[in-house]
């Protein structure tokens, strides 16, 4: 795609935005590993994090949106459960420390349905819940 653009506009300049001010090194390294740029070596530029927080990242492949919503809901139950966090020598998360972000409101209803199924309290900020 970049090559087609360059052939259409031969005098263009390419500027790479390599400094990332939003995500830490852990998230950026996982993003590079997942997304990669195989077959497009010219496009691959290592991102430089400006945020020192590394965070925790888990990549999970699931077959569909319903399975994804169910996994998120069960994971929230797990990380708020004293029994499971004690086994990891950690402290349980509290409800107010958890946020789930989604790209579009179309994804909301499956997530809300999954959270209700496992009795996870939630509130939608910025939009009305799908079922209201």
Instruction: Please state the domain extents for the chain.
Output: 2-51, 65-117
Tokens of 61: 């492949």
* Cα–Cα separations (whole angstroms), residue 46 to 37, 38, 103: 11, 14, 25
Q: pLDDT 10s per residue in the chain (132 long)?
A: 567 888 899 898 888 888 888 888 888 888 787 776 555 655 667 788 887 776 677 889 999 999 999 999 999 998 888 877 665 667 777 888 888 888 777 788 899 999 999 999 998 887 665 555
What does the DSSP 8-state code read for residue 39? T
- Cβ pair 77, 120 in contact under 8 A: yes
Spatial CA neighbour of 29 closest among 59, 61, 74, 73 = 59
Spatial CA neighbour of 125 closest among 92, 93, 96, 88 = 96
Q: Is the whole-model pTM more than 0.75?
A: no
């Amino acid at each position: 795609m970049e090559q087609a653009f360059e052939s259409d506009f031969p005098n263009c300049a390419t500027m790479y935005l390599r400094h990332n001010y939003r995500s830490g090194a852990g998230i950026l390294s996982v993003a590079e590993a997942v997304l990669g740029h195989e077959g497009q070596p010219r496009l691959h530029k290592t991102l430089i994090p400006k945020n020192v927080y590394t965070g925790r990242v888990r990549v999970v492949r699931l077959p569909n949106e319903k399975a994804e919503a169910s996994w998120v809901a069960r994971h929230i139950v797990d990380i708020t459960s004293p029994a499971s966090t004690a086994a990891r020598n950690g402290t349980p998360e509290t409800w107010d420390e958890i946020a789930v972000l989604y790209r579009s409101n179309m994804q909301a209803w499956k997530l809300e349905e999954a959270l209700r199924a496992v009795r996870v309290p939630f509130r939608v900020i910025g939009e009305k819940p799908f079922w209201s």
